[in-house]
Each structure stands twice: as structure tokens, then as C-alpha cells.
Amino acid sequence: MRVALFITCFNDTLFPATGQAVVHLLERLGHQVVFPMEQTCCGQMHYNTGYHREAIPLVRRFVRIFSPYEAIVAPSASCVAMVRDLYPHAAELAEDRQLAAEIAALTPRVFELTEFLVNKLGVEDVGAYYPHRVTYHPTCHSLRHLRVGDAPLRLLRAVKGIDLVDLPAAEECCGFGGTFAVKNADTSMAMLSDKLRRVLDTRAEVCTAADNSCLMHINGALHRQRTGVRTMHLAEIFATTERDF
Amino acid sequence: MRRSSVPIELKASFPESAKTSLRDTQLRRNLGKATQTIRGKRAAVVNEMPDWENLREAGRAIKQRVMRHLDHYLLELETAVQRAGGQVHWARDAADANRIVADIARSHASKEVIKVKSLTTDEIKMNEALDELGIHALETDLAELIIQLADESSSHILVPAIHKNRAEIRELFMRTLGVEELSDEPAALAEVARRHLRDKFLNTKVAISGANFAVAETGTICVVESEGNGRMCVTLPEVLVSVMGIEKIIPTWQDYEVFLQLLPRSSTGERMNPYSSFWTSVTPGDGPQEFHLVLLDNGRTQVLADEMGRQTLHCIRCSACLNVCPVYERVGGYAYNSVYPGPIGAILTPQLRGLENAESLPYASSLCGACYDVCPVKINIPEVLIHLRGRVVRERQERQGVRRHIYPEDLAMQMLTRIFLDQFQFERVQRLGRLGQGPLARGGFIGNLPGPLAGWTAMRDMNVIPEQTFREWWRSRYE
């Protein structure tokens, strides 16, 4: 299948390794990856912070750039949720029926990486090898907005060599929440400190998730506290094979 | 319709109040324990229902119909209550409602009235208003009594004293009720309160209640509770005044089938609550012989006018959203500076009071969505939060006019839109960011960010922008 990678502005700038992992992974599975160079940002930060009118041009731009592709995949649940759940509202706000129709046609083809692998491609064993102790944090947007269910866990369980440990109270928010982490920094930190305690309790070396934004928040505190535990996006685990060792 | 004159007070913003609450280690412990317990109980009794999702959908659909035809149902309710011998009063705002209730109490020369837990009367600060006229309102719900004795306010919709533990309540009762020996066993604490209240139930002439539901077709009011104090409140006195928000209507008796399954399981995590009292105005020789229903607007028609925000009025005050909210669990009810805390408060308070008086509340959420999952009437709280954030920004921009261009957040967002609209501009900014971070970066992380981003690095390190962006790598691959 020809897959258009929606890297997201955040991953493009701060986590290029995640994008590279998605490319290697999908190519290894026999798919052709294309990267529409024009892409920038889906407008999620604007929209979730209340700058709805400011997000509309970005929505139009995204729809124009990605509409030609049969499958669009992003290593970010929250950006996919923006497209799937909030783009229809943006079109309504713009009072643009044409845009609404284009969005309705586009959104069934936009996937978060793990739902694409498990639900669309029907793959669970991606041939990965990752001999580390790993715990999985289901991010709110993957769990409750996109409803990816146990797709990430099924993929993780099929990884060779992995020592996968359950994260207690895994379904609780880590406290990131986009601009929430800055506007309500104290509350965000209180939520993060409980998440951190649970991650450390698992004695995992790596905490993984479907969103680098949440992971950056978690890793920021893991690093500040010199815990010796790191975070890694799911795609990077799935891309790793025995040949990498 | 003119804007309801909800009392406007200068209140601290959510982040400021949250900061104070977060420092209270006892509060954190009490809240964590209580919310986790209720959460577990709710999950157990909800998971045993095979048709739970259908019930939620039915609850949502009934409430949606009520909101669409509220004018019709209100008049139907008024007629039914009057037909059964009750009097109906329409209150545009808090002042109206408080005056109506005070007049009723004074017409019976009552210096003291008893109350069963009513959030609506807390919303309009009825106790304070009556107090100014020399009428004391005694709370009879155990938790409400506790916070009244402690001279505090409620911090949870259903469990107003959730912030207190047993030891603190024991100490309070010993200090205020003149008890010398008392254990902190729940039964012993309840017994002390029971003795204190029993006398009041038998000797007070006027009682005030809230209402969980009112059936439009029959005029029947319903209050659900756990203790039986409410039952005594609505049956023993001679005069009963029920104060309810206009959104509490359900069309028919049959609709109780849906809501009396949804409410107890969602709120206390019980299959059925111990006491559900229903009354239809006046029954000769049985119960209060004078009944008044006060129908309160106080901003609700404003909420109704907002197509997206309207679903907020579906709320049946079960408080399931508070108990699952990771924000509420840590900051407690006071941080919301409203009688309606938690996720539902974050969307209800700004709409009732006017957004300009509660601008920080729609932002008091990480949009995690746990509240939507448990809401028995499927209020999409995250969706409404985002909608209200949009209104907050738009109203501020309109207020500020051209000055909005120097408001830092607005300026940043406008600039970002422009950058993101142009691929090459975006790539330039990526390169600039990589260069600009130089002085801040140490060992792959940044420990101190400047300006409005300082909150991020207060307790977290920030990743640096790597040597190569993804798109640079992609280009290099095909060169």
C-alpha cells in the first residue's frame, strides 16, 4: 500500500527518530511511504487552546495536502484525534459545506500508527526485537478519543525479547494536556508525579506510548529526577530488529 | 431575555487556587482515597449492567428532548403542580428566588427553616440571604451539616465533606455539638448528628428542599438520598418549599425507569439509593399541607441558547465525572471557586456566570476524556470545554479590539498560524529554533525555559531540537 506519512510538526522538529522508525517499519512490512513535503501542522494546539478561527486555514491546508492519498498514517494519537473529532467542528465554524464534505471523505483514511497496523493491515507481529523491560502508558487520545483499544499491547506482546510489564492505573492521564501543562503547570505536575511513581514501581527501563507529547512530559521529569528510566515512542520499538544489535 | 444578574465576585483563577489546594497534603490524601473508593464501586455496579450503554443513550435522548421543548414542559409542570394544590413561583435569578423563599418563611413567622441538601440553593447562596433577614437555615444532610458546623463550603457535588476524614469530623462534632466522648466510628458520628437533628425535624414549621427530578405530566417532585433525613425534611414540617433549576424536568413518570437506574449507580455506586421520595403538591392529612415550587433560571436560559453548550443542562448531578477526574482528584473542589466543581463545574460555572467571570475554568482540564466515558447522560465534556475555550478567546479578542495584537498568547498564536501556512517559513523557524536553543541546552536537555514556557521547566527538563529534523533526513535520503 502507498502510505502518506503525516509526521506532525512536533515530531518533525523534536522527534525525527520516531518518523524514521515509522518509515523503516512500514517499508519493512512491504509498503511504500511517501512524505508530502508541504505538510506543517494540523492546528491541534490552536484549536484546543481556543484559537478556533486561527486554526481554520491550517485545517483547509491539511485537507488540501492529504486528500489525494489513500492512507494517511501519523505516529500521534492526539493529532489524528484532532483531524477525526475536531475537523468537522472547524468546518461547521467556518460555515463551509464543501470543506465539511472533504473532511468527511478524508477522515476514514487517516490513521494513528497502531490502529493502522492492527485494524487496517491486520498485522500484530511486525518482526521486532527489543530485549528490554518496557511498560506501556495508554495516552488519553489513543485510549478514549481514538479508541485504539489493545492494539498497541497486541503489537508489543508480539515483540521478541521484550519484558512487558503492566503499568498500574495505566489509564489515568499523565497530566500533559497540551497547553494545560503550561497554563496549569502545578496541577499538571501533581498528575505527573503520580504517573512517575507508578512507572518507577514497574522497574521498567523504558516507558512507551503512542504520543511523543505525553512522553516528552513524562521523560522531562524522569530526566530531571535522574531516574535512569527513559521513554520511547512505540514506533521506535517496532522498528528495532535483531539486526540492530 | 436580559442577562440574569448572577452575583459577580472577583475570584481567584483556577491555577492560583489549585496551587493553594495542591499544597494541602491531608486534602490530597483524603481526596485520593475517597475518589478511588467511589470510582471502584461505580465501576463494579455499572459493569454488571448489560444494557448500560443503551440506558445512557436513553438518558441523553430524554434530556435532549426536554431541552428542545423546555418552554412546553415548564408550563405543563406548572399546571400539574397547581392542579394538585401547590403554588408555583418563577425566579429569574438568585435575588428573586431568595426573596420568594424568605417571604414564605416570614408569612409563617419562622425564624428557623430546615433544609435537605440542595445544590441549587447553594448556587444562589440562599442560607446567607436568609441569614441577613434573621432566618437561620439548618442543613440536615449529614455532610452538609458537617460543613455548616465547620463554617466551610461544599467541595463535592454529592459528598460535600469529601475533603474531611473521620478524625477531623470527630474533632469537629466534639467542638461544636458539645459531645465529650466520641469515637471516630461512622455509626457513632452518625448517632450524634441524628440526636442533634431529630428534635429539629419535629419542631420546625418550614422546610426547604431541592429536586432531583420533576415530572411535567404529573407535577411530581423527586429527591433521592441515602440517609432518610431528606425524607423527614419533606414529610414532617407543615410547609415545604422546593427550589429547582428549570432544567430538572423529565416528561413522564416512565422516564424514572431510566434515571433511577442511571443516577444511583453513577453517583454513590449503589444499585439503588436507600431513599427516593416522591410528592405531588399536597395530600390532605398526609405530609406538608402547603407546597411551593420555585423554578429558577439564574443563567440557564443563556446556556440553553448555546447549541453546543446546551448539553451541559442534561446534568443530573451524579458527580461521576468528579470522581474519575485526575484534576479534581488532586486539587479538590475549592480550586474551582464554585458550588459546581470538577469537569461539570468547569463547563457549567462559566456558562451560568458568564465566561468573563470564569475564564480559567474551561482550561482546568487536560481533556483526558475520562469524564465523558462515565457521564450517565453522555455529556461530551471535552467537546464543550474546547467549545468554551473558543468562546473565551473570541470574547477576549472582541473586548481587546486592536490591543489583542499585543497580548502575548494571541500574538504567538497568530504568528504560528502564519508560519504553519508556509512550508518554507516553517522550515526556517525549525532551523532558527535549533540555533537559538544553543545557550540553553546542556547534555541534550534544557533545564530552564524563558517567559511563559518557564512553567514547563519548573519541574521537567525539555528535549533539545535534534541536529536534523525529520524532513531534512527525508531529503537527505533521496539526494
pLDDT tens, residue by residue, B229-246: 999 999 999 999 999 999
Which among A18, A140, A9 has a CA at the least distance from the CA of A81? Answer: A140
**A40 to B419: CB separation less than 8 angstroms, yes or no:** yes
Residue range B142-148: average pLDDT? 89
Confidence of residue B382 (pLDDT cuts 50, 70, 90): very high
| Percent of chain B scoring above 70 in pLDDT | 98
**Amino acid found at B165:** N
Contacts of B388 in chain A (CB under 8 A): 50
Judging contacts by C-beta atoms under 8 Å, the chain A residues touching residue B465 are 13-14
Task: Kindly list the residues from chain A whose CB atom is less than 8 angstroms away from the CB atom of residue B456.
Answer: 181-182, 185, 220
Q: What is the pLDDT of residues A110-131, one digit of tens each?
A: 999 999 999 999 999 999 999 9
State which residue of chain B sits closest to A181, comparing Cα positions: B456
**Looking at the predicted structure, is the pLDDT value of residue A98 above 50?**
yes
The C-alpha of B327 sits at a distance from chain A's nearest C-alpha, in angstroms, of 7
pLDDT exceeds cutoff 50 at A146: yes
Strand partners, A33: A3
Average pLDDT over residues A49-76: 98
d(CA B20, CA A160): 48
For residue B322, count other CB atoms closer than 10 A to its CB: 31
What integer best gives the mean pLDDT of chain B? 93
DSSP letter for each residue of B344-380: HHHHHHHHHH-GGGSTTGGGS-----HHHHH-TT---
Report pLDDT for A198: 98
Q: What's the CA gap between A206 and B441, in Å, rounded?
A: 23
Closest CA to A113 of A33, A226, A206, A167: A33
Task: Report the candidate in A49, A77, A72 with the shortest Cα–Cα distance to residue A62.
Answer: A72
Q: Which of B180, B341, B366, B64 lies closest to A78 in space, CA to CA? A: B366
Confidence of residue B5 (pLDDT cuts 50, 70, 90): very low
Residues 433-462 in B contacting A (C-alpha not used; CB under 8 Å): 433, 445, 447, 452-453, 455-462
Q: What is the pLDDT of residues A82-91, one digit of tens each?
A: 999 999 999 9
CA–CA separation, B4 and B54 (whole Å)? 36
Over residues B183-202, the mean pLDDT reads 89
Q: Which positions 131-160 of A are in contact with B (Cβ < 8 Å)?
A: 140, 143-145
**pLDDT, tens only, B25-73:** 998 998 999 999 999 999 999 999 999 999 999 999 999 999 999 999 9
For every residue of B382-402, DSSP letters joined together read: HHHHHHHHHHHHHHHHHHHGG
In angstroms, the CA A173 to CA A170 distance is: 8
> What's the whole-number average pLDDT of chain A?
97
> How far is it, in rounded angstroms, from Cα B337 to Cα B14?
8
Q: How would DSSP label each residue in B218-286?
A: T--EEEEESSSHHHHHHHSSSEEEEEEEGGGEES-GGGHHHHHHHHHHHHTS-SS-SEEEEE-S-BTTB
Q: Nearest chain B Cα to A186, which residue?
A: B19
User: Which residue out of B375, B420, B437, B478 would a mutagenesis test of the A interface target, given it has the greatest number of A Cβ atoms within 10 Å?
Assistant: B420
Contact A47 B386 (CB under 8 A): yes
**Complete DSSP assignment for B155-219:** SSSS-TTTT--HHHHHHHHHHHS--SS----HHHHHHHHHHHHHHHHHH-SEEEE--SEEETTT-
Rounded Cα–Cα distance for residues B431 and B87 (Å) = 72
Q: What is the mean pLDDT of residues A176-183?
A: 94
Is the Cβ pair A191, B452 closer than 8 Å?
Answer: no
Strand partners, B442: B445
Residue B6 binned pLDDT confidence (cut-offs 50, 70, 90): very low
**How confident is the model at residue B455, as a pLDDT?**
81
pLDDT reported for residue B443: 83
Confidence bin at B165 (pLDDT 50/70/90) = confident
Residues 6+ apart with CB under 8 A from B305: none
User: Using an 8 Å Cβ cutoff, are B421 and B411 in contact?
Assistant: no
CB of B241 closer than 8 Å to CB of B103: no
Using CA atoms, how far apart are residues B84 and B171, in angstroms rounded to an integer?
Answer: 46
- The three cell numbers locating residue A218: 513524562
**Whole-angstrom distance, CA of residue B57 vs CA of residue B63:** 10
Q: In the predicted model, is pLDDT for residue B7 greater than 80?
A: no
Cα gap B46→B178, rounded to integer Å:
42
Q: Using the 8-state DSSP alphabet, how is residue A83 labeled?
A: I
Query: What is the pLDDT at residue A108?
Result: 97
pLDDT at B8 > cutoff 50:
no
Q: Quick one: which H or E segment has residue A4?
A: strand A2-5
pLDDT recorded at residue A204: 98
d(CA B174, CA B94) in angstroms, rounded, equals 35
Query: Is A92:A41 a contact under the CB 8 Å cutoff?
Result: no
0.90 exceeded by pTM: yes
B293 CB-contact burial (10 Å; exposed 0-12 / middle 13-18 / buried 19+): buried
pLDDT in tens, A153-169: 999 999 999 999 999 99
Q: Are A18 and A88 in contact (CB under 8 A)?
A: no
Asked if A11 and A3 touch (Cβ cutoff 8 Å), the reply is: no
Residue B10 pLDDT exceeds 60: no
Decide if A47 touches B, using CB distance below 8 A. Answer: yes
Query: What does the pLDDT average to over B373-397?
Result: 97
Cross-strand bridge partners of residue B225: B275
Mean pLDDT of B443-450: 87
Name every chain A residue with its beta carbon within 8 A of the beta carbon of B391.
Answer: 50
Whether residue B116 contacts residue B209, with contact meaning beta carbons closer than 8 Å, is answered with yes
Please name the residues between 168 and 207 in chain A that touch chain B, using a CB distance below 8 Å: 171-173, 175-192
Per the CB < 8 Å rule, is B367 touching A180?
yes
pLDDT tens per residue across span B264-311:
999 999 999 999 999 999 999 999 999 999 999 999 999 999 999 999
B16 Cβ contact list (under 8 Å, min separation 6): none
Which residue from B302, B239, B311, B255 is spatially nearest to B86, judged by alpha carbons?
B239
